[in-house]
Amino acid sequence: MNNIELLNTDWLNLKLGEMIAKEDKYLLLITPYINLKEETKKSLKTSKAKICIIIQEIYDKNEERKKKKLEDFQKLKEYLSNVNFIETPDLHAKIYLSSNKIIVTSMNLQNYSQNKNFELGFVFDNEEDDEICKKIIEEIKLFLRKNEKDETIPDKLYYKHCANKKCNELIEKKYKYCKKCNDDYKNSQGGN
């Protein structure tokens, strides 16, 4: 049974900051609006994780403001050249996903340390066999497919742990064992 925790604004800031700073496998950050504080930018830039950020397409009725927003976004993309940014229309959900946690919340990734809004969210373990986790990933895939963006999400998002409990490496879902375990297995069988 998955452990679900309810988070208020302060806890969301803390958990999200931790997730971004500590993750070394993959991060999928879904946030309609993005405005990162310096610390978060640095965490993302130096992260070893494979990172994808999905945002709402930039628009503004005011041409000047729109131009400014596009310039800021361009600068961010240049700085975070290690991040795969995807822009989609009709995005309102906020979901933050790492190899071991999922946060579903009302909170955008927007200067979150200074965020004084009333926000709530849930955090739970990202478990391969958990029904809710599977459904969340399925809904994200459906949304991206609807917008013809699913090709831009690497299959790498869909990792699981190696079936060998002692190893527990993160591998693509299409494999049962990781390369390391397969080799070990072959060697222990006398090189078959």
Q: Which residues in 148-178 are b (16+ Cβ under 10 Å) and which e?
A: eeeeebeeebebbbbebeeeeeebeeeeebb
Interface pick for Zn ion out of 110, 160, 164, 170 (rule CB under 5 A) = 164
Least distance (Å) between residue 186 CB and Zn ion = 13
Given a contact cutoff of 8 angstroms between Cβ atoms, the answer to whether 102 and 133 are in contact is: yes
162 binds Zn ion (CB under 5 A): yes
Least Cβ distance, residue 158 to Zn ion (angstroms): 17
Shortest spacing between CB 169 and Zn ion, in angstroms: 4
Q: Which of 58, 80, 167, 170 binds Zn ion (CB under 5 A)?
A: 167
Residue 22 CA to residue 149 CA, distance in Å, equals 27
Nearer to Zn ion, 130 or 169 (CB): 169
Contacts of 174 (CB under 8 A, 6+ apart): 155
State both tokens at 72: 């800021």
Residue of the chain from 55, 123, 140, 181 that contacts Zn ion (CB under 5 A): 181
The residues binding Zn ion (CB under 5 A) are 162, 164, 167, 169, 178, 181
